[in-house]
Structures are given as C-alpha cells and as structure tokens.
Amino acid sequence: MNRRKAPLLVALALLLAGSALLVYRTRPSEPLLPEGGLPRTPRFPIVKVEPGQERETSVESPRDPGRPPEDLVSHLRSRYGARIKDPHTQMRMLEVLMRHFQRLNPTGWEADLLALVKQAFPELYDELALRLRQRVDYERWMKEHHAELQQKPAAERRAALWEERHQLFGKEVAEKIWAGELRNQAVADALTSIDALPNASIGDRMAKYKESLAKTYGQDTGAYVKIHQQELMNHFLDLASVQKDLGAQAAAQRSESLRTIRKEMGLDDEALKRWDELDQVRDTRWEVGSRYMSEREALAQQHSGAELELKLQELRSRYFADEAQTIAEEEQSGFYRFTRPRQWGRN
C-alpha cells in the first residue's frame, strides 16, 4: 500500500468502525441528533437502537485534494454499499465523513468529502450531495433555534423538530432517517399507557408490554429484545404501577413476580439464578439499613455533638465494617442511602 495513503486509510477505517446517526449538539464538527435524541420521557428513558457514537480518534492524515485513494473508495463501498440507497445508511456515512474531513480541512472539507463520495458511489452522487446539503441546513437550523427549542415542553419540541425535518428532508425520507427514534417513542408511549391501566396485574402489564414491542419491531423483535434485555426490563420495572404491586406483595410472592418478569424478557435459567441471588443480597442489605437507621434515630434523640458522632462511628462500624467511612461521608453531605425509596428489582 502506498505509505502516503496508509495513515489516511487507518484514520478513516477507525472512524467508520462505529458510525452513529445525528447526536444533538450545537458545534458544527459534531453530529446533531441520535435516533433516540428527542426529549426523553422522564420515567421511561428511551432505548437506543443504534450503537452509541463512536470514540473520536486523534489521527493526523495527509490531505489528498486529488483523486481519492482507491483503498478508501473500496472501504466505503464495502462498509455501506449494500444499503447505500437507504437514507438512514446515507446519513450515517455522511456523518462519519463529515467528522473526518472537518478535522483534516476545516474550510474546504465539503469539496473533499464530495470528491470521495463521487468516486465511491457515482450513480448516487446527486442524491448524496443533496443529502449532505440537507444535513448541513438542518445543523444550521438546530444551532439557530437551540435556545428556543430548549425552552419548549417536550411534546412541542418534538413537534417542532419533526416539522423542520419534514420540510428539509421530506416526510418519507425523514421518517426513514429517524426510524429508530419513531420506534423508541412508540415504546415510551406504550409504557405510559400500560402504567395507566386500571386494575391490571403485573402479568397483564407485561403482556401488553410484549405486544407493544412486537408491534413496534415486527420480525426483529426477538433479536432486539435479546440485545436490550436489561434496558427493556428496567423500563418495565420503573413503572410506578409495577413498583406499587411489587411493594404490596409478600416476600416470596414478590420474588416469584420478579423471576417471572425476567423470564418473560428472555433471561435463561443461569441468569435467573444470578438475579435471585442478587435480590437476596439486596433484601438483606435493606434490612440491615433499616435496623441501622432505627438505631441511628434513637442515638440522635439521646446524644448530640461530639458524643453523638462518636456513637455514630461505632454504630456504622458495627453495621457496615469497611464501608463505614463511605456511609459517614454520604451522611455528612446530607445523603442517607437507606431513606431512598426501595425500587424492587432495581436496588
């Protein structure tokens, strides 16, 4: 391989290894919005469908203003060629190339990028050039309206974003680019509805949850759930209705309910066993914490000042041993871990 081309290939190959779409930022060298980048429902954070933004690399590469190296052209074709007609794939590729060429040539990056794209995908050059222009215009709009968007309620902000996307990209293309975001929002909306179901059991809510996932992800549901088991399970456990029902159950019944939830989300027997053990550890810890807080309160009623602090040091050492100092520092800052609400299956 030509030595002059090698560093450029390495830099771009590293960058292409973990491409991601549009993360909400205001600096021009960074992408704008992730697929899950809309304001998230506070209690039900949205699961990301695409991998996270790739780690930025710091690689110096010589610029080649002439014909793009054949190795880079081949790499682009190999990495994106199979799905290059898909707007989502187009935007992923352009995002990666923008970050790469903006580092190499902050003032003339666009011409360099388009030269590479033209060599790699000549039959789609006009479409990709348009997509790049749309991307740049969208970034400009986001920067100009950033403060205004931040002040809007979540629903209004979401509506404003989609209105601009439809205007710049067209409705069909925009919904393909942000398809993951639409799926994320559908699941978040379903969770809100599930949480509000009157007189529904945990099993009823889980059935509705699985129905919503199947409706949203279709034939990809199984693979998606397998990859995102923990996140999806946490979202369900975070429902206030589910926590209320778990809290009202006896210990044995609650243990069985948690095992059923995890099993419904596809965890195998070994994983279920590990979770059972972790639940027991957590239960024991909360029981110890409850006894500690009761004794602490009693000491606070009987002593004060230096005498109280000495008694508390002895109490923390007796209950928490090596962790006693950490507990003391937390309490000095005003944080009392055992006064937090118990989140069954979560802490």
Instruction: Spell 118-154 as b/e; 16+ CB within 10 A means b.
Output: bbbbeebeeebbebbebbeebbebbeeeeeebeeeee
Tell me the per-residue pLDDT of 123-167, one tens digit each, with 9 for 90 and over: 999 999 999 999 999 999 999 999 999 999 999 999 999 999 999
> Looking at residue 44, what is its pLDDT?
32
> Looking at residue 68, what is its pLDDT?
56
Q: Are 128 and 115 in contact (CB under 8 A)?
A: no
| Residue 68 token pair | 């793009």
> Looking at residue 15, what is its pLDDT?
52
Residue 244 makes CB contacts below 8 A (sequence gap 6+) with none
| Residue 94 token pair | 């352009």
Q: How many residues does the chain have?
A: 347
> Looking at residue 71, what is its pLDDT?
85
User: CA-based angle 83:87:89, to the nearest 5?
Assistant: 45
**Residue ranges in the chain modelled with pLDDT below 70:** 1-69
Tell me the per-residue pLDDT of 40-55, one tens digit each, with 9 for 90 and over: 332 333 333 333 333 3
Q: Are 21 and 135 in contact (CB under 8 A)?
A: no
Residue 269 makes CB contacts below 8 A (sequence gap 6+) with none
Which residue's entry shows tokens 């990709």? 128
First to last CA, the chain: 54
- Quick one: CA torsion of 48, 50, 56, 62, rounded to 10 degrees? -160
SS3 of residue 128 by DSSP: helix
Dihedral-angle region of residue 342 (phi above 0 means left; psi in -120 to 50 means alpha; beta otherwise): beta
| Residue 107 token pair | 């003032």
Which residue's entry shows tokens 């011409």? 111
